[in-house]
Amino acid sequence: MEVSAEVIAQHFKGEIIGDPKVKVTSVAKIESGKFNNICFLANPKYQHYLLTSNAGIVIVNKTLVPEEKVKPTLIVVDDAYQAVASLLDLLNSLKKSKRSGRSCRSTVAWSSKRGKGSYFGAFSYLGRHSKIGKGTQVYPQVYIGNDVTVGDDVILYPGVKIYDGCKIGDNCILHGNVVIGSDGFGFAPTPDGSYKKIPQTGIVIVEDDVEIGSNTVIDRATMGATVVHKGVKLDNLIQIAHNVEIGENTVMAAQSGVAGSSKVGKQCMIGGQVGISGHITVADGAKIAAQAGVQGSVKEEEGKRGIMGAPAFDYRTFMKCYAIFKSLSGKK
């Protein structure tokens, strides 16, 4: 896949300095760029690399344009750092070509429906009365149970499992080995000390534009639904328990977990290895630092300031407490 400086400049509405016809095929760091690479220069401390770079194209800030002539073609933009994500998205869209059709080595129930332009890979399974939308890509070894709905333009990477009755919205991406709709962790103690399983009769609803990282598990509700709202981004190795609700555009880093029946608000930022206890509420816009243990509900004012620690509380208070704790060792 080749793309020219002219096309890239139009995408960013940037100014070209050099050859507009030069073409590149991949992205690289500016210090190691070659003639077929496009690079970025956003930090002034790396400006010296621009004078020696062999890259075909370099995207630079207006404030970093060199006074002397350089070998690469330059595309001048307002903010080269912000341009990184946009360019990678452009290159990815040009490179990707959607497949369509169904592998003869897949299993599709006669009562199920596949949307126009969808793809169903080898050794995948589509259960009874289930539906996948138009343009949806189901990679090999994906399991989709009975009465499942998967929206349009969804990507289900190899090993994804979607249990009976669950619903996936449009434009979602589920990475390898994601499990949607496994039983919630519900067991009732009995007089003899053993535990009786509580049937998990609900479903999972994943709304539009959600991305879920590899090996993340979202449990079905005991009753009703576990809900992941629109725009949520979940990292790898996350556990979302039964009857949890995750608000719109919340992001959560790897190895975090939310216990049953908790509600996490909109636009929260949750660091890695955070544990959120059951039956609590985290307010909209909360910022929770990595490895925090959230044992009680988080109010909006406190959450927006940020919380950390185990048990978690206001980060400014935490840092003062930590300074005192550290001083107990006698070290400064």
Element (H, E) at 144: strand 143-144
For 147, the 3-state DSSP assignment is coil
**DSSP conformational letter for 32:** G
What DSSP string describes 212-245? E-TT-EEEPPSSSEEEE-TT-EE-SS-EE-TT-E
Treating both helix axes as pointing N-terminal to C-terminal, what angle do 5-12 and 80-95 enclose, rounded to 10 degrees? 120
Residue 303's contacts (CB-CB under 8 Å, 6 or more residues apart) are 265, 268, 282, 283, 284, 285, 286, 287, 288
Cβ pair 114, 96 in contact under 8 A: no
Question: Which position among 11, 229, 242, 279 bears the catalytic label?
Answer: 242
Known active-site residue 129: no
**DSSP conformational letter for 199:** P
Give just the sign of the alpha carbon dihedral 218, 241, 262, 264.
Answer: negative
Residue 254 half-sphere exposure toward CB, CA atoms < 13 A: 5
Count of C-beta atoms within a 10 Å radius of residue 331 = 6
Give the amino acid at 232.
Answer: V
Give the amino acid at 314.
Answer: D
**Residues marked as catalytic:** 242
